[in-house]
Amino acid sequence: MGIISEDKIIVAIVGSLGIIFTWWFFLFKKEKETAVEKEVDIIVSGGYSPEVISIQKGKTTKINFIRKDSTDCLSEVVLPDFKIRKELPLNGKVTVEINPQKSGEFGFACRMNMYHGKIIVK
Amino acid sequence: MKQTYLIKGMHCASCVRGVEEAIKKVPGVSDVSVSLPAETAMVEFDLEKVDDEKVFSAVSGIGYQAALKDNAGSDDLEKEKNKDLTRLKKKVVVSLFFGALIFWGSLVGQNFFLQLILATIVQFWAGLGFYKATLPALRHRTANMDTLITIGTSAAYGFSAVATLFPGLIAQAGIEPMPYFDVSVLVIGLILLGRYFEAKARAGTSEAIKKLIGLQAKTARIVKDGKEIDVPIEEVVVENVIRVRPGEKIPVDGEILEGGSSIDESMISGESIPVDKQKGDKVIGGTINKTGTFTYKATKVGSDTVLAQIIKLVGEAQASKAPIQRIVDLISSYFVPVVIILAIITFVVWYVFGPYPAFLLALLNTVAVLIIACPCAMGLATPTAIVVGVGKGAEKGILIKDAESLEIAHKINTVIFDKTGTLTNGKPVVTDVILVSEAYPESGKKDPGQARMTEARRDDILGLAASLEKGSEHSLAEAIIQKAESEKITLSKVEKFKATPGYGVEGEICKDKVFLGNRKLMEKEKIEIYDLRFKIEELESQGKTVMMLSVDGKLAGLIAVADTVKENTKEAVEKLQKMGIEVIMITGDNEKTANAIARQVGIKRVLAEVLPDQKEAEVKKIQAEGKVVAMVGDGINDAPALASANIGIAMGSGTDVAIESAGITLVSKDLRSVISAIELSKKTMRTIRMNLFWAFGYNVALIPVAMGVLYPFFGVLLNPIFASGAMALSSISVVSNSLLLKRVKI
């Protein structure tokens, strides 16, 4: 084997950095938790904002999903632990009421299970 | 945005105007349309300025009440979906047409600048959705399928654009300035085509619930003050009297007051044979009246009706998550980042170690890896099958509470049936009426007192017994009275009636002292049974309860009462056993009766004399033997047993569908639907496994191929265009495979 040319070394280094960055960027994000009293608007656009909400056990909480993203996948939101599946019309508001009796973390997602959010019941 | 509200308290057109004006006054509201018959207001407003509370207070300010309407504007949703589909179709046609032009052009040496124009249109018009999904997702630090497609097609398009506009720059780097517009354009076209077909197929998965919603009647004909008026279904209240004519849909649940008919309940129970109903029988809203005309009293309306509860149950079950899905979730949460990393590795390895032209090969293979990876097939594999499976069940009268129940049902190897009301009809009927003279003619000769009774007719026995039982509240009494009524026997007047719990009843009929009860009663009254005890034992060994009737201190006859086995019980038990499932009967009855019924239906293992509160413990004992147990009962008396079994199956009476303790509720009373439920679970699970196999296998097999692992051995590389075709097919195949569940026979 001859000497590896400079550009190849650069590509290898940038590639390695890219791998580390990708891993860090997607898998090491800090979840920002939004505490919710009674009602919360979750904007559905490229995901859910806020993504993680915390609510209180035994209290009815209204979650309003407002979809602003035309991505087909986001057209439905599924809260499997609460057995709720709702269609979200574009630019419409769909209200979901939950009254959790158990504390814990309950995920919600779009219908293809690509975008995720979390409800933390305390 | 548009929102529909329910408005309560409107009576006339001026109310409508009032509400409209009040809502219009709310700053930010652009349009209002109020409907009096539907009691709704459709409001269009600016989300930034208006919220529900403002609308509520505007409406309540003028004395009406507003509330959010659930499932509002489902028609609008449908319209919007259709519009989306049309838009998508347009994009697919344009992209594929442009793609074909470019592909043909690159063969015949077309102008690269023309290609650039066409590709730019496709990239940023047809492919705009991918960017729109990717950018906000990146802000959330999440990645999805769109991210992969955006990176992949942007890389191909970006390189090609530079190669077209600045060929010198590329050539300087020692790379041939050859654009690959066909890749970016055809990849977008094919992926959109896949989405189009997937969206169309997906609409079919939720057909069952749409059908159920469609069963709801729109109006009801209420009888009030001798007049009949048609009113919208929402206005029907409990106690309203409703008339139903032949061929009409029964609007809400209720009880027949007058008349009778044959009613088609197949849409709810899955039973194809119409059911005859008379005065006092319950009718279910959404079912169809076939022949007669009747009036009935509404007992359940709105969200309390059986149909509304079924719709709710099915909707909830379709939204729930099967345990098998948890592992899929875990994998898919890492999937996209891992694919991006694999793509980077592919680029580096090809660039560093690849043959000439290393950069182009690296680029094309990286794009192929990004495009072939299909997380959506994995995401769709389980839920689409659950939605179709639960819907299919509902059509057959099998109501599944959640995906978990559907998943467990296929593992069942033991079914415990509660006897009364499940294996049997739960209503005792008179099976034998025996005259002393018939059963044992000689006894009359031996005892002169018996002679009088030998002349008595069978009808007299039944008549005397029924007359006595008229005053009793025992469940067996009802059977005797019904039998006498059905045979049109006139009952006599009873004097000095007395019921002794645990023994029987007594009274005076035409001055004769008459006793009706069990052996203990006869012994107490010192009435000789003679050799008739053999007959009594014979009847008892058949599972019947025998009552003895004595007149004037002498035994006159026997009446045997038994709960009858349901018509299809034996067949169902046999089938279950053939499937390798052990069938067990559990009952509070004594062993003799229990064994007799078990013999009749072919059950080998019997748990007799189990008190209701012990059933749960018995179920647990059988589970401790390592069995996966389904407990089948009526869901009311045996709720704890149903809840403690691996899966509780409630045989509904057709009226109480939301049985909490049961994982599966069977609307029909036919035991064969237990088999259907297990079959449905098996078939759904098979579909899920097949889907997951395809979805995972596809990714596991093709991502390495796209990376080029076959290249050193066979010189095989995956063209990104083929990759996009394959990826489109993978989602479609998963959804279509789930749709096949609709056709299976259960």
What order do you get walking across the sheet with B664-666 strand by strand? B398-400, B664-666, B647-651, B629-633, B414-418, B582-586, B605-607
- What mean pLDDT, rounded, does chain B reach? 85
- Domain co-membership, B432 together with B548: yes
Strands B582-586 and B605-607: parallel
Strands B275-277 and B65-68: unpaired
d(CA A55, nearest CA chain B) in Å: 21
Across the interface, which of B129, B145, B315 has its CB nearest the CB of A114?
Answer: B145
Across the interface, which of A12, A66, A85 has its CB nearest the CB of B318?
Answer: A85
| CB of B688 closer than 8 Å to CB of B124 | no
pLDDT tens per residue across span B711-731: 999 988 888 988 888 888 888
| CB of B248 closer than 8 Å to CB of B230 | no
Q: Domain with B599 in it: what CATH number?
A: 3.40.50.1000
Inter-chain residue contact B144 with A73, CB threshold 8 Å = yes
Quote the percentage of chain B above a pLDDT of 90: 32
Chain A residues in contact with B84 (beta carbon < 8 A): 70, 72
**What gap in Å lies between CA B675 and CA B411, rounded to an integer?**
13
Compute and round to an integer the Cα radius of gyration of chain B: 37
- Domain co-membership, A20 together with A39: no
Chain A residues in contact with B318 (beta carbon < 8 A): 85
In order, the DSSP letters of A2-71 are -PPPHHHHHHHHHHHHHHHHHHHHHHSPPPPEEE-SSEEEEEESSSEESSEEEE-TTS-EEEEEEE----
The residue type of A56 is Q
Across the interface, which of B1, B77, B319 has its CB nearest the CB of A85?
Answer: B319
Q: Is residue B305 part of a domain?
A: no
pLDDT at B691 exceeding the cut of 90:
yes
- Domain co-membership, A4 together with A48: no
Q: Domain with A57 in it: what CATH number?
A: 2.60.40.420
- Domain co-membership, B171 together with B152: yes
Inter-chain residue contact A66 with B380, CB threshold 8 Å = no
pLDDT tens per residue across span B261-313: 999 988 888 777 888 898 888 999 999 998 889 999 999 988 888 888 888 88
d(CA B2, nearest CA chain A) in Å: 6
Q: What is the mean pLDDT of residues B647-651?
A: 91
In order, the DSSP letters of B523-551 are HHTT---TTHHHHHHHHHHTT-EEEEEEE
- Domain co-membership, B199 together with B80: yes
> Out of A93-107, B142-156, B430-444, which region has the weakest mean confidence (pLDDT)?
B430-444
**DSSP SS3 for B715:** coil
Q: Is residue B10 part of a domain?
A: yes
Inter-chain residue contact B195 with A72, CB threshold 8 Å = yes
Q: Which long-range contacts (CB under 8 A, 24 or more apart) does B457-460 make?
A: B458/B433, B458/B557, B459/B487, B459/B489, B460/B556
pLDDT tens per residue across span B160-199: 999 999 988 888 877 888 888 989 999 999 999 988 988 8
Domain endpoint, select from B300, B332, B364: B300
End-to-end CA distance of chain A: 62
Domain endpoint, select from B154, B173, B203: B203
> Out of A58-67, B1-10, B585-594, which region has the weakest mean confidence (pLDDT)?
B1-10
- Domain co-membership, A26 together with A78: no
Q: What is the mean pLDDT of residues B250-255?
A: 93
- Domain co-membership, B8 together with B39: yes
Q: How confident is the model at residue B49 (pLDDT cuts 50, 70, 90)?
A: confident
Q: Domain with B479 in it: what CATH number?
A: 3.40.1110.10
The continuous run of DSSP H or E covering B597 comes out as: helix B591-601
- Domain co-membership, B361 together with B337: yes
Peptide bond into B177 cis (omega under 30): no
- Domain co-membership, A58 together with A80: yes
Domain endpoint, select from B518, B536, B564: B564
Q: Residue B443: what pLDDT?
A: 43
Q: Taking CA atoms, what residue in B is nearest to A5?
A: B352
pLDDT at B455 exceeding the cut of 60:
no
- Domain co-membership, B82 together with B51: no
Chain A residues in contact with B2 (beta carbon < 8 A): 89, 92
Q: Residue B294: what pLDDT?
A: 93
Burial of residue A98 (CB within 10 Å: 0-12, 13-18, 19+) is middle
- Domain co-membership, A76 together with A96: yes
Q: Residue B38: what pLDDT?
A: 64
Query: What ipTM describes this predicted complex?
Result: 0.78
Q: Residue B450: what pLDDT?
A: 45
- Domain co-membership, A64 together with A99: yes
Inter-chain residue contact B140 with A47, CB threshold 8 Å = yes
Higher pLDDT, B252 or B325: B252
Chain B residues in contact with A18 (beta carbon < 8 A): 344
Q: What is the mean pLDDT of residues B542-566?
A: 87
- Domain co-membership, B557 together with B432: yes
Q: Is residue B67 part of a domain?
A: yes
- Domain co-membership, A22 together with A66: no
| CB of B286 closer than 8 Å to CB of B252 | no
Inter-chain residue contact B73 with A89, CB threshold 8 Å = yes
- Domain co-membership, B505 together with B431: yes
**What gap in Å lies between CA B358 and CA B728, rounded to an integer?**
28
pLDDT at B94 exceeding the cut of 90:
yes
Inter-chain residue contact A46 with B135, CB threshold 8 Å = yes
What domain count does chain B have?
Answer: 6
**DSSP SS3 for A117:** strand
What is the CB neighbour count within 10 angstroms for residue B538?
14
pTM: 0.78
Query: What is the domain extent for residue B631?
Result: 398-425+566-674
Q: What is the mean pLDDT of residues B575-594?
A: 91
- Domain co-membership, B117 together with B162: yes
- Domain co-membership, B66 together with B78: no
Cα B648 to chain centroid, rounded: 15
Query: What is the domain extent for residue A25?
Result: 1-30
pLDDT at B447 exceeding the cut of 80:
no
| 3-state SS, one letter per residue, for A32-49 | CEEECCCEEEEEECCCEE
What the block records as the tokens of B602 is 């072919």
- Domain co-membership, B332 together with B413: no
- Domain co-membership, A43 together with A103: yes
Q: Taking CA atoms, what residue in A is nearest to B382?
A: A112
Pairs of CB atoms within 8 A across A/B:
138
Q: How confident is the model at residue B446 (pLDDT cuts 50, 70, 90)?
A: very low
Q: How confident is the model at residue B685 (pLDDT cuts 50, 70, 90)?
A: very high
Q: Domain with B22 in it: what CATH number?
A: 3.30.70.100
Q: Residue B449: what pLDDT?
A: 43
pLDDT at B435 exceeding the cut of 50:
yes
Q: Is residue B444 part of a domain?
A: no
- Domain co-membership, A42 together with A100: yes
pLDDT at B542 exceeding the cut of 90:
no
pLDDT at B129 exceeding the cut of 80:
yes
Q: Residue B69: what pLDDT?
A: 66
Q: Residue B74: what pLDDT?
A: 60
pLDDT tens per residue across span A11-52: 999 999 999 999 999 888 877 888 988 899 999 988 898 989
Task: Give catalytic status of residue B146 as yes or no.
Answer: no
d(CA A41, nearest CA chain B) in Å: 11
Largest Cα–Cα separation, chain A = 70
Inter-chain residue contact A8 with B352, CB threshold 8 Å = yes
d(CA A34, nearest CA chain B) in Å: 15
Q: Residue A32: what pLDDT?
A: 83
- Domain co-membership, A112 together with A101: yes
Q: Which of residues 311-350 of B touch A (CB under 8 A)?
A: 315-321, 325, 328-329, 332-334, 336-337, 340-341, 344-345, 347-348
> Which of B49, B12, B9, B6 minimizes the C-alpha distance to B29?
B49
pLDDT tens per residue across span B336-363: 899 999 999 999 999 999 888 888 999 9
* Beta-ladder partners of B470: none
Q: Is residue B447 part of a domain?
A: no
Q: Residue B442: what pLDDT?
A: 47
Inter-chain residue contact B375 with A114, CB threshold 8 Å = yes
What domain count does chain A have?
Answer: 2
- Domain co-membership, A2 together with A45: no
Across the interface, which of B143, B317, B379 has its CB nearest the CB of A26?
Answer: B143
What the block records as the tokens of B195 is 């989405």
- Domain co-membership, A43 together with A23: no
- Domain co-membership, B80 together with B162: yes
Inter-chain residue contact B345 with A19, CB threshold 8 Å = yes
| CB of A121 closer than 8 Å to CB of A86 | no
